[in-house]
Amino acid sequence: MSTRIICIANHKGGVGKTTTAVTLGHGLARRGKEVLIVDFDPQGQSATFLGINPSADIYFVLASRIAGEPRGPDLTALKQRVRSSGRKNLWIIPGGTETAIAQTTIVALAKPVSYIADVLKYFTGNGLHYIILDTSPSLGGLQERAVWASDYVLAPVQPDYAAAQGLRQLITTLTALRQEKGWGGTLVGVLPTLYDEQTRETRAEMKDVTRAFGNLLLPPIHRATILRECAAEGLTIYEKDPGSRAAREYEAVVDLVCSLA
């Protein structure tokens, strides 16, 4: 099986992108898949959610191609940027505030949309089944390139107007990348997160999302305090309470990803 790249994206922040990236990554790893999480968010929270320190590793990975050395980057140095998450089969290239510098440089040098895809080629293969890209909540240069590098995009959305607007902008970006830049991937689903069916606004928003996305709408992840506790303790939901509702709901997402070609 070739390495599948899955991008977790939404132009709105705080919708559960990092939680989804980390939980999906660990869920796949628990099923024996080799998974690499790449954190393109300058907040660097994928690492902290896994209980490890954020670092400038993704900055160095991105910067390795900026210089444009004729012989290419030092592969050994590049692969040393892959850190163990402390979990079996789960690896991470952490990000940090330095990621924003790399983003600015890439945009200033007008690097092509395939820039991240070219960087990730150094990591694909080697028995790696999935690369999960956690992206920043804005179009600043990195997110479009991360989407372009991916085979599948998973869009978490909190059922409120602002998050829906971010999702709408993401769909516009995906369509544009497909039509204008020849992106070969697709949207795998819209994942409602922080779901709370008790409010009328949530129900109304879900109705709109359902009407717009139909089969692409995935079963929701309910708002759960345990997920916030996981972030605070540096554990995934599978470590904290694998029998919880949140863990079961994320298992459905893992099932979906495993069923993809």
77 alpha-carbon distance from chain centroid: 24
CA-closest candidate to residue 41, choices 26, 62, 66, 68: 62
Query: If binding is defined by CB under 8 A, does position 217 make contact with other proteins?
Result: no
Contact criterion met (CB below 8 Å) for 8 and 185: no
Spell out the SS3 assignment of 88-145. Answer: CCEEEECCCCCHHHHHHHHHHCCCCCCHHHHHHCCCCCCCCCEEEEECCCCCCCHHHH
The one among 179, 198, 225, 232 contacting other proteins by CB under 8 A: 179
Query: If binding is defined by CB under 8 A, does position 31 make contact with other proteins?
Result: no
Task: Tell me whether residue 21 or residue 224 sits nearer to other proteins (CB atom).
Answer: 21
The footprint of other proteins on residues 135-154 (CB under 8 A) is 139, 144, 152
CB under 8 A: which stretch of 27-35, 46-54, 73-81, 168-176 binds other proteins?
Answer: 168-176
CB under 8 A: which stretch of 67-75, 95-103, 213-221, 242-250 binds other proteins?
Answer: 213-221
Q: What is the residue type of 104?
A: T
132 alpha-carbon distance from chain centroid: 5
Q: How many CB atoms lie within 10 A of CB 237?
A: 26
Task: Tell me whether residue 102 or residue 187 sits nearer to other proteins (CB atom).
Answer: 187
The one among 52, 66, 82, 216 contacting other proteins by CB under 8 A: 216
Task: Tell me whether residue 52 or residue 171 sits nearer to other proteins (CB atom).
Answer: 171
- What are the residues facing 6 on neighbouring strands? 132, 152
Task: Tell me whether residue 80 or residue 210 sits nearer to other proteins (CB atom).
Answer: 210
Residue numbers at the binding site for other proteins (CB under 8 A)? 139, 144, 152, 161, 164-165, 167-169, 171-180, 186-189, 204, 208-209, 211-213, 215-216, 259-261
